[in-house]
């Protein structure tokens, strides 16, 4: 399952360094060294996004980070991030974020949500 051309163009336009892996359920997109808000205890992290078979008719859901991050002010996990998932041979901190998917959405839509949570520190 190849990446869609407009998704690759979007990633390039944002200047992301990324890798793509594949299994029977879809793609694993890893955004390398994603810059974080000062709300977190790390300056950067890798972000994994699962792109399911059937995308864009089937929606993207959640995202995952490594190394794990905490809220800097409290040293606590951000809300809804206690899950751990193993993908591509390593454990990832799960950010359980859900929204109603529309087939008109795409990877850019999902990364804008990731940006709100990670780059802007809006984890609520």
- Return the pLDDT at 8: 97
| Phi, then psi, of 15 in degrees rounded to 5 | 75, 20
- Return the pLDDT at 37: 95
Show the CA angle centred on residue 102, arms to residues 100 and 103, nearest 5°.
150
Segments of the chain scoring below 50 in pLDDT: none
- Return the pLDDT at 121: 82
Q: Structure pTM?
A: 0.95
Asked if 2 and 21 touch (Cβ cutoff 8 Å), the reply is: no
**Residue 86 has which token pair?**
């193993």
Question: What are all long-range contacts of 13-17, with beta carbons under 8 Å and residues at least 24 apart?
Answer: 14/111
């Amino acid at each position: 399952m190849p990446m869609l051309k407009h998704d690759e163009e979007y990633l390039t336009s944002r200047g992301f360094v990324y890798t793509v892996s594949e299994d029977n359920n879809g793609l694993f997109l890893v955004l390398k060294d994603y810059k974080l808000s000062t709300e977190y205890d790390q300056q950067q992290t890798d972000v994994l996004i699962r792109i399911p078979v059937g995308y864009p008719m089937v929606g993207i859901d959640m995202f995952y980070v490594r190394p794990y991050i905490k809220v800097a002010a409290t040293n606590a996990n951000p809300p809804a991030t206690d899950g751990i998932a193993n993908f591509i041979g390593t454990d990832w901190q799960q950010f359980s974020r859900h929204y109603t998917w529309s087939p008109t959405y795409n990877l850019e839509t999902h990364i804008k949500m990731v940006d709100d949570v990670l780059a802007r520190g809006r984890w609520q």
